[in-house]
Structures are given as structure tokens and as C-alpha cells.
Structure 1
């Protein structure tokens, strides 16, 4: 038997029952400075083995007596935890889990036991499961892993298999994010390649972008350190395209169009790439909204130094870049892929293989999926703590 301690700072999210709950209470140290009874803190973990578990709540700061409602909706569990100065480790009783899967535990402060004048709700550090026979029976984001990437959730990829990889100069992909699956932080990347990526993002409640970036050949996360001979150079851009440099995930040239794309619409992305005679390779991205135009719009064209390449390593991905929304599921469809070589000969896209990032590979998060829908094309899904699917890394999907 062993005890499993699940840290709030790596595995919890907050939601609000009122229109205005602006404070963020979740830090790596736990849930801190929590005053609002309209805020619900939700902690997630995955159980691989059914069984009975004792649970307790660990705090390392209690300012005054307070009461927190603890509920597990899927188990019809409800408990009122009353804290005083002696309640740094408070037993919540036992739970019985009959089926493997994700468990969500909600915490909400009661209005009657807290007053802004007298201090905060108790600081929540960890939820402890006791009587665990096998440590590997409980999966969650470990403190040894990045809380940023763990709370973001797993990124998932489709790696396209073409009948030929030689001299691919043009690639087209259609991407649709279904209605209600477009949470803030979503990046449905339509066309990735060895030197950059191109797709659409939800950047906030009020802004969405069509983003195209190309990496510099100099390996650095600091764009200001790139030597002049390693700079990615802008060749041309669309009328309303914004141009920046980027860092923290490699560095290079960034271009984006602020655009109010809509969930449920299939948008068209086209990428051209070829080696120039000047030692650069040229990469140009175009976007088309089928609801508004029959023509593609130029996003930007970049040239990359010390590179002689057509389009290689073609893939798509779905990620969440906002750690505060990793508890919300995303989904995207990728359809009608077309490839052409430098002689404009069509190259068949035969299939797509599934892969994921370290968050999934190290089993910090299990909420990922991918496959094929013969009507809507290949799909990717991630985040939201849905129960694990049977898809595995390396699975190959083919459309009829």
C-alpha cells in the first residue's frame, strides 16, 4: 500500500459561476489567495485500476475557519470539508471507483464561512489517495514534469505519407475546427514542414489569427541572438499581415493575419516551397476562406538562408498553448490534402501516421485521440480529460 499525492499546481483548473471572476488562483505552489465563492477549482487524475481509495486534502496555510464543498460528480460524492488551524491534513473519507478513467474533483468555498475582510480560503496544496496498491494505477502530471506543458495538455500530430517525397513544391490542406471545439489557446496547424508551420489559432476571446512562421537555421530560443547571415528574410507579405520575430521554441520569422475564422467552416491552406539559386529556400503561405472568396490570399513569403530544399516532413498538429484552458477539449479535421512536385505533377497523399509530444509520451496526460472520418477527413483531438482511447503512437490512418 502507498499514498499518492496529486499536486494542485500541476493538475487543477478554475472555472467561474459568475460573469466576472478575473483572478487566477492556481500557482505551482497550489491554490492561493482564494476568496471568491463563485470560483470552482477542479483537479483531475486518471485511475487505471478500479478500487476503493481513502482521500484527504493537504493545506499548508489556513487563515481562519472555513468550509469547502468537495464533490466528485461521476461518483455522486459530496463532502463539506471544515477547516480550522488544526486541519492542514483533512480526511475526506473514501471513494469507490468501479471503472478506469479520468476523475474530476471539484472544490468550492461556501459563502457562509468566508468574508473578504477576514482572509482567504485555505491554501490547497495536494489531494492524497491512500491505500493504493500499485503506484502506477494513478496517472497525473508529476511535479518532476513541466507544469506549463502538463496543464496545457498533449499535442497531437498527423504525419503525411506521400507516394513520393521528391521535389514537393506545393501542398494544400483543408482544416475545420467543429463548432464548440474552438477554446482559447487552440492551434489547428494545417501545414507543418521541416522549416516552419502554418495554421489557425484562437488567441483570445476577441482575436483569431492565421499564422505562418519559418525557423532560422541557427538553433536558439532568443531571436535577438541570431547572426545576420542566419536571419530569415521577408520577401513579401499580404496587405494586412503582421510581421514579427519569434522565440522560445526555436527562433525565426513570424507572420500572421488577424482573421475572424469561424468554427464549423473548412478553410484552405496552401504552402509553396523551393530552393533558390542564391543559397536560400523560399517558402510562401496562402489562405482561402471559401465563404468569402474563390481566390487565395497571400499571408507571407520568407526566404531561409543556408537551405536548399523543397517541402519536406509534411505534417499537421493540434495543440493548446494556454495552460489555463487545458481542461477543455479541442478537435480539428484535416481533409482534401493535395501535393504537387516542381513539375506540377500531382503526388498522392497515401495516409497519415499518428504521433504526440512528451506530455503524452511520458503518460502525464492521456486525453488524446486521432483517426479518420471518411466524410470529414483525418481528425485530431486533445485536452479536456476525456477517457483514454485505443489510438497509439505510430498508428496509420487511411481514407477510403
Structure 2
């Protein structure tokens, strides 16, 4: 999975409805639910909500943020192929309800409670018994009462959490030939569907990703020229990046569907709790720039070439330097994840190393639309950090400036000879 290019994503989501409801009743759409411990034995359909729920080992969760306290009445929009029983809980209150058989959704009153504090709340729905194939199809959760004033929830089927970024401040007038960075993912924060990106610039990105239970990757990609959003076959040859070289066992090819460009990845079982090193190199020549990515393999104690691409219509060194943390999986977009980004440096063509100790916090269209409020970042333990998801309050806002203490020791790098 590659990075979502935020310009396209913003256009896609901007036309959707706002996520703040001002009047009661409100409906939390079924397609915004999450299943725990995993989305198995139940599907969360982007069109139909909770469907094909056959497994009682999981629960379906809906999340909202209450800006006001007060009474809250909860109901379900549900149906089943035969009578079924569900247990619904929120705010310490719990109720078992019957779902009637029928082809149409029924409005089922569930419970009333009183919210005594503002913040995030979790509505958990558990399957108890069923006489048919499914426990229930759930179209939505209805909420009424004074506590719904100013309520926030995600109204869209886009269940990924917000992407968050560190934009580094490099000295004005300094050209960036080399860009170095490190990432440490705390144990337990390496959730499936997460991309921890260390070295991004105006033309591409380089980092590490959790692709599945048994596969992790080091990923490096460079964007084509032009604005084609989907089909690389429509990109003129002179606008396409060209693969010049790749490392042993590295997979490289073109990509589309979320912008277009050249992609490369190396399947590597990186570990949470360890620190990994990334290095980008830029060589401008005429109107093109050759970008090469190197990853330090600690088991071999050496740098590995991931790939080298030639980017057309460029001809300059790296600019707009940044790191990011992205959740690209819908199924676990509710799970908290965090990464540390530290010891970033640049090196000029004149050989001067400059440490990057200041970063501006930014986020994506999901955060800017206030579809999700659970994200943040900052500086601790001498490092920058970013986090997203978990339905806990944000601790940073767009444009915040973070600073970390300088280490003052430039990285020692010995690249292999080719």
C-alpha cells in the first residue's frame, strides 16, 4: 500500500457532509463501525453498514465525541433474517434487546443514560443469540437528548484515521543533497496497515510499513510529473519516472490509483522497539533529478540500496522535507498507533551537515474536515513523535511547532561501492 497523495484525497472528501450535528436526533452510520477483536465473521460495508454478522466472538463498536453533558437516549436501526438478541452498552449502562425478523430496518429503542463529562464514548454491540444466519444488520445508531448538542462523529465510510506529518525547517538558502532520518516504533504500536515514513520531500517518500501479520516492507516511491490521478498508462513517457537501479530482492514497478509514479519495496521483517535508519540522495542533472534511497540493515551492519529513480521535469535538490504517520487500513482505523522520528539531518552539496531540530505539525483532509479528532504529535525523549487513532483527545493542532534538543553529532555513513 502506498501513501495517499493528500491533494487527491482532499478533493475526494471535501464534498462530503460535515461531521458536526447540531440538532437531535442524530444517526451514527453503520458503515463507520469497527469490529473487535477483528473484522471477521462480520462485514462493515461502505454502502450497507454492518452486514453478514455471524460470529459472536467479536463486538461492533461505534464512537462519538460529546461536547456537552446531559441525558442521552440510544436506539438501533437494525434487522435480522430471524429473531436475534443483542447486548448494547455505553457509558456504563447496558441493555439486552431483541431484533425482530424482517426485510425492513426496525427502529429499536435501547437505553437511556446521562453523560456526566465531555469526551469520547464507545457504543459496543455484542451478538448474544440468533435463530437465523445473522445476529443483525445495523444501518445506524440513533442518539437523542441534550448530550447530542455539538456531537461529533465520522459521517463517512472512510474509516482510516487521520494522517499526521512533521514538516522540517531547513536553513534558508541551503541545498539538500542528502536527507537522513531515523524511526523507532514502540512495541505494540506496529499495527497492521500503518506506514511510518521517515524521509519525504517534494517528489517522493521513503519509510517502512506493516502490510500484514507476516509481511513488512521498506518502501520508496517517486511521483511522476503531471496531475494524472489514477491511470499511469495515460501519463506521457516524458513525464514518467524511470527506474535506474534497484537492490537485491527489491520489487520495483510503476503504480497508479492514487497519483502515479515509480514504486519500490523490499520485504523486510523490521521489529518494533528497534531504531531504523533511512538515507535519501538527490543528484540534479539538467531538467531531471536522480533520487536514490538507502536503508541501513542492522543485521548486516551495512547500507542497502532500495532503488534509484530518475524524475523528469525536476532538476533540483530536495525541498519540502517531511515525515508522516499513516493508517491505510479501514478495518483497524480505531486502533492507536505511534512512532518516534529522530536525528534527522541534511547534507549540502558542499559537504555541510545540518541537524533538523524544528518541525511544523500538519494533518490531512480527514483531520481538517473534523471527521476524526484523535491525533497528535510533539517532542519527548529527545525525539519527535506522531500518533493517530484510539479515540483519545488530540494533543496538537494544525501549524503547531515542535522542537527537540540537538544531538550535535552528524551521522557516519559509509555507502557500498557499486
Determine if contact 2:378/2:386 at 8 Å carries over to the other structure: yes
Aligned-residue Cα RMSD (Å) equals 1.7
In structure 2, the partner of 1:370 is 377
Q: Work out which of the residue numbers 369, 381, 389 in structure 2 matches 1:383.
A: 389
Structure 1 unmatched ranges of 5 or more: none
In structure 1, the partner of 2:202 is 194
TM-score normalized by structure 1?
0.91
Determine if contact 1:288/1:295 at 8 Å carries over to the other structure: yes
Runs of 4+ in 1 over 6 A off after TM superposition: none
The SS at the match of 1:359 is helix
In structure 2, the partner of 1:396 is 401
1:221-260 correspondence to structure 2 within 5 Å: 221-260=230-269
In structure 2, the partner of 1:206 is 214
Q: Work out which of the residue numbers 29, 32, 37 in structure 1 matches 2:56.
A: 37
In structure 1, the partner of 2:411 is none
In structure 2, the partner of 1:138 is 151
TM-score normalized by structure 2?
0.87
Alignment: residue pair count: 379
Post-superposition CA distance 1:174-225 (Å, at most 9, x none): 1011100001001000011110000000000010000000000021121122
Post-superposition CA distance 1:352-386 (Å, at most 9, x none): 010100111111001101000133x0000001212
In structure 1, the partner of 2:98 is 82
Determine if contact 2:163/2:325 at 8 Å carries over to the other structure: yes
The SS at the match of 2:31 is helix
The SS at the match of 2:366 is helix
Q: Work out which of the residue numbers 155, 158, 167 in structure 1 matches 2:163.
A: 155
Determine if contact 1:2/1:133 at 8 Å carries over to the other structure: no
The SS at the match of 1:229 is helix
Of stretches 46-55 and 341-350 in structure 1, the one that deviates more from structure 2 is: 341-350
Deviation at 1:132, TM superposition (A): 3.6
Q: Could you tell me how far apart the structure 1 residues matched to 2:265 and 2:148 are?
A: 48
Q: Could you tell me how far apart the structure 2 residues matched to 1:324 and 1:308 are?
A: 41
Q: Work out which of the residue numbers 323, 345, 352 in structure 2 matches 1:345.
A: 352
Matched, 1:65 2:83: yes
Determine if contact 1:168/1:310 at 8 Å carries over to the other structure: yes
Q: Could you tell me how far apart the structure 2 residues matched to 1:223 and 1:23 are?
A: 36
Determine if contact 2:294/2:304 at 8 Å carries over to the other structure: yes
Q: Could you tell me how far apart the structure 2 residues matched to 1:35 and 1:51 are?
A: 35
Q: Could you tell me how far apart the structure 2 residues matched to 1:16 and 1:256 are?
A: 29
The SS at the match of 1:203 is strand
Structure 2 unmatched ranges of 5 or more: 1-22, 406-418
Deviation at 1:390, TM superposition (A): 3.5
Deviation at 1:152, TM superposition (A): 0.7
Of stretches 176-185 and 43-52 in structure 1, the one that deviates more from structure 2 is: 43-52
Deviation at 1:58, TM superposition (A): 1.1
In structure 1, the partner of 2:295 is 287
Deviation at 1:344, TM superposition (A): 1.2
Deviation at 1:289, TM superposition (A): 3.1
Determine if contact 2:292/2:308 at 8 Å carries over to the other structure: yes
Q: Could you tell me how far apart the structure 1 residues matched to 2:147 and 2:384 are?
A: 40
Determine if contact 1:185/1:203 at 8 Å carries over to the other structure: yes
In structure 2, the partner of 1:25 is 43
Of stretches 197-206 and 81-90 in structure 1, the one that deviates more from structure 2 is: 81-90
Determine if contact 2:66/2:148 at 8 Å carries over to the other structure: no
Q: Could you tell me how far apart the structure 2 residues matched to 1:206 and 1:159 are?
A: 31
Q: Could you tell me how far apart the structure 2 residues matched to 1:139 and 1:368 are?
A: 15
Of stretches 204-213 and 93-102 in structure 1, the one that deviates more from structure 2 is: 93-102
Deviation at 1:67, TM superposition (A): 0.5
The SS at the match of 1:9 is helix
Determine if contact 2:80/2:100 at 8 Å carries over to the other structure: yes
Determine if contact 2:70/2:145 at 8 Å carries over to the other structure: no
Structure 1 pair 22–131 and aligned structure 2 pair: CA distance change class (3 A): closer
